[in-house]
Amino acid sequence: MTDLPVLRLRPKSKPQAIRHGFPWVFADEAVLDRRSRAMAAGSFAVLEDAERKPLALVTVNPNSKIVARVMDADAEAVIDSAWLRARLERALQMRERLYDAPFYRLIHAEADGLPGLVIDRFGDTAVIQPNAAWADRMVDDLADALVQVTGVQNVILNGQGRARGLEGLDERMEVLRGDAPSAPIPVPMNGATYLADLMGGQKTGLFFDQRPNHAFAQRLARGAAVLDVFSHVGGFGLAALAAGAASATCVDGSAAALELARGGAGRMDAADRLETIQSDAFKAMEQMVAEGRRFDLIVCDPPAFAPSKPALEAGLRAYERVAKMAAPLVAPGGYLGLCSCSHAADLTAFRNVSARGIGRGGRRSVLIHTGQAGPDHPMLPQLAETGYLKALFFRLD
């Protein structure tokens, strides 16, 4: 029998949700007495129902609204180096089936059985984001297991972002194993080359989740004039150039991101077909409308306007505004792609405000494709938050 402490559900909580795969226990669902509140953030405990029957082995954080996360359905499990390696090996086997080159999200948190943990792989370098207290405490064990399982030489800890704040974790950036890259790393995707700044870029340096949506956009981009709004390092723009777009215009507020986009285009011998505009996206679209510019394909991939339920209403208004402002810039018979990475805005709500925004922009549309994150970002069916990315492609009259 385990000698771990016990965290118990309240009598009115529903233990069947945990038994059926839901991975979280919220603070108002658990008995939080002096003993349980004294548990160290990131420690392990046995989760029991109100009748004292074991449900799972969990990691506990009394400082978080998510007070417990399921680590293993076996309450007798031991979370050690061997356990970590087994989870990493399972995740790696799937990615190696899916991708020919080692550039992908290796660990997608709860969906890969490592709650709150994100690992992105860039060839022989991996970036760890420990967004849960247990992963932050065990990050050295994780780095060792990662090197043993994947053979990567360099492991970087990127401890930044909103999720860590919600867990009560400090921001930090460290090189855990090997060396920090001396320059942005070239990343091949869909025939394009992206440059990922692993030490200074957003999140882990590059967004792998849009890979299948880039591929769909490429079908529409051949010979087209393309506008990529909120482009970051040129996600949709460089994909379009790789597919034979006549031109691509990338708009972003970050000079550093646009410099990486230009570097990627240069490596693709497509620099002469790329235009970059450093500007607020809304102001840039307003200026383009005034100039009478038109594009055959426009894709807008903004940051999360609705990162939480309290921000949902304002976020949906922002998504509608994006659609309204982009619609007049689409040439007759052209295409408009609209994306949301806000887990608080579900697909139906996002689709509704997108269609309404297009209509308010004076255009009629039909929806031709709905996309989501790639398979290296698997969804846990019981946890809607893992299905955060939505991509809608419309044909405009």
Query: 313-331, pLDDT tens digit by residue?
Result: 999 999 999 999 999 999 9
162 pLDDT tier (thresholds 50, 70, 90): confident
- Which one, of 182, 126, 181, lies nearest residue 155 by Cα? 126
Long-range contacts of 165-171 (CB under 8 A, 24+ apart): 166/64, 166/65, 167/41, 167/61, 167/63, 167/64, 167/116, 167/131, 167/132, 167/133, 167/136, 168/41, 168/61, 168/63, 168/64, 168/133, 169/130, 169/131, 169/133, 169/136
Q: For domain 81-177, which CATH number applies: 3.30.750.80, 3.40.50.2300, 2.60.120.10, 3.40.1550.10?
A: 3.30.750.80
* pLDDT attached to residue 12: 83
Least confident of 59-73, 193-207, 257-271, 375-389: 193-207
Long-range contacts of 147-150 (CB under 8 A, 24+ apart): 147/177, 148/85, 149/85, 149/88, 149/89, 149/92, 150/88, 150/92, 150/102, 150/106, 150/121, 150/126
Sorted by where each begins, the domain ranges of the chain are 6-72, 81-177, 185-396
83-132 pLDDT, tens digit per residue, is 999 999 999 999 999 999 999 999 999 999 999 999 999 999 999 999 99
| Residues with Cβ within 8 Å of residue 120, at least 6 apart in sequence | 104, 105, 106, 126, 127, 129, 204, 205, 206, 208
Q: Contact, 194 vs 241, CB < 8 A? A: no
CATH of span 6-72: 2.30.130.10
* pLDDT attached to residue 387: 84
201 pLDDT tier (thresholds 50, 70, 90): low
CA atoms within 13 A on the CB side of 306: 26
100 vs 209: CA distance, rounded Å: 16
Which stretches within the chain are classed as H helix?
15-19, 34-37, 81-98, 133-137, 139-150, 162-166, 211-221, 235-242, 255-267, 281-291, 312-326, 347-360
Residue in this structure with the two tokens 């000698």, named with its chain if needed: 3
* pLDDT attached to residue 217: 98
Q: Contact, 21 vs 382, CB < 8 A? A: yes
* pLDDT attached to residue 100: 96
* pLDDT attached to residue 255: 96
73 vs 379: CA distance, rounded Å: 18
How far is the CA of 216 from the CAs of 265, 302, 322, 334, in angstroms? 19, 18, 21, 15
341 is catalytic: yes
- Which one, of 235, 231, 208, 221, lies nearest residue 336 by Cα? 221
38 vs 226: CA distance, rounded Å: 56
- State the DSSP code for 382: T
Q: Pick the catalytic residue from 250, 300, 339, 341.
A: 341
pLDDT beyond 60 at 1: no
* pLDDT attached to residue 308: 86
What does pTM read for this prediction? 0.94
| Residues with Cβ within 8 Å of residue 213, at least 6 apart in sequence | 236, 337, 339, 371, 391
pLDDT beyond 80 at 204: no
Domain 185-396 has CATH 3.40.50.150: yes
